[in-house]
Structure formats: structure tokens, C-alpha cells
């Protein structure tokens, strides 16, 4: 993108492959909701060898799927590079059941495309504009709070400093 431009544009985000991998890995490691929405079996069926009666409510444990060691090597480690190598063809839009942070099928999040577009654009710009450091460069506590959505158990404390030369931020010209 360069240090002489203020904004990362939408066309730039398509070329930021590592950023895309970071977002996928973050959604895998910390899905927004650990459980899927409720589905109901419309008729008797068999799922993975288990009999499921009509009317049974089914909830997918997304957290478990996203941390399955049969699918993900070192499933509890943050490794965005996996989406540039072994899992490069996996998408988060519900087509690959190994990674479904927004659900899949008819009941997947209807705003997934918009959310991903805004997430890529916003994160690219914030990382372009600022440097982030923890106080004394200490490790970030990534423990999660219990709940129906995933959130950090402790507040995130960071120091934010401008990354670009001052003239780039000058909007008076």
C-alpha cells in the first residue's frame, strides 16, 4: 500500500493475502458464536451413524469443529499461514464444513459478505495507520469469557501510535 497513502482501498484488500489469512484464522480460533443456530430434523434420519428422530433440535458445536485435531494441525495455535498452504481453498462462507463461523445453508448469517468486506477494509486501514503494542510488550491474555458469544475474559490494553508520516494524516489540503 505504501507510506504515502492514507487509505487502503477496496481494490487493495484483494491483494492482502496474509491479512485474509489472519481473518480466517481468527474466525477459526475464536468463532463469534461457539454454537450454531438451532436446526430441527424434519424427518427421521441418520447423522454419522446416530438415529435422529423428526422434531429433534440439532446444534452444531462450531468451536469443536474449528478446533478438531483431525482437521487442523495444532488447532489451538494461531497459525494464519495454514490458509496460505494446507487450507488455502477453505472459505468462511459456509461451503467448507471445516470452517463455518457464520453457519451454513439457508440459515447462515445473511450479512456474511458485507461483514467480511467491512472487516477486511477496516482492519487493513487500522493496521496501515497505526502501530499497536501491549504495555511492556507483555503477552495478550486470550482467555475467553463464558457465554453464547465469544468475548475476551479480560480487557485488551494496548498503546496505539501513528504509523505514517504526519503529512499523510493532514486532511486540510
Q: Annotated binding residues for heme, as ranges?
A: 109
Containing 124, the helix (H) or strand (E) segment is helix 112-129
Say how far apart CA 105 and CA 94 lie, in whole Å: 7
User: Binding site: which residues?
Assistant: 109
Say how far apart CA 131 and CA 117 lie, in whole Å: 22
- CA-based torsion, 138, 144, 150, 152: positive or negative: negative
Helix, strand, coil percentages, rounded to 5, for the chain: 30, 15, 55
Whether 96 contacts 66, CB under 8 Å: no
Amino acid at each position: 500500500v505504501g507510506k504515502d497513502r492514507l487509505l487502503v482501498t477496496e481494490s487493495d484488500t484483494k491483494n492482502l493475502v496474509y491479512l485474509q489469512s489472519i481473518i480466517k484464522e481468527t474466525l477459526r480460533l475464536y468463532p463469534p458464536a461457539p454454537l450454531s443456530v438451532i436446526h430441527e430434523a424434519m424427518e427421521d434420519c441418520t447423522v454419522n451413524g446416530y438415529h435422529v428422530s423428526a422434531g429433534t433440535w440439532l446444534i452444531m458445536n462450531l468451536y469443536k469443529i474449528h478446533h478438531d485435531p483431525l482437521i487442523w494441525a495444532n488447532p489451538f495455535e494461531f497459525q494464519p499461514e495454514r490458509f496460505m498452504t494446507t487450507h488455502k481453498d477453505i472459505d468462511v462462507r459456509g461451503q467448507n464444513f471445516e470452517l463455518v463461523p457464520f453457519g451454513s445453508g439457508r440459515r447462515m448469517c445473511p450479512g456474511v459478505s458485507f461483514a467480511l468486506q467491512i472487516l477486511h477494509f477496516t482492519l487493513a486501514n487500522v493496521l496501515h495507520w497505526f502501530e499497536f503494542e501491549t504495555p511492556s510488550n507483555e503477552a495478550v491474555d486470550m482467555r475467553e469469557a463464558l457465554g453464547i458469544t465469544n468475548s475476551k475474559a479480560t480487557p485488551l490494553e494496548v498503546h496505539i501510535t501513528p504509523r505514517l508520516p504526519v503529512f499523510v494524516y493532514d486532511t486540510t489540503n
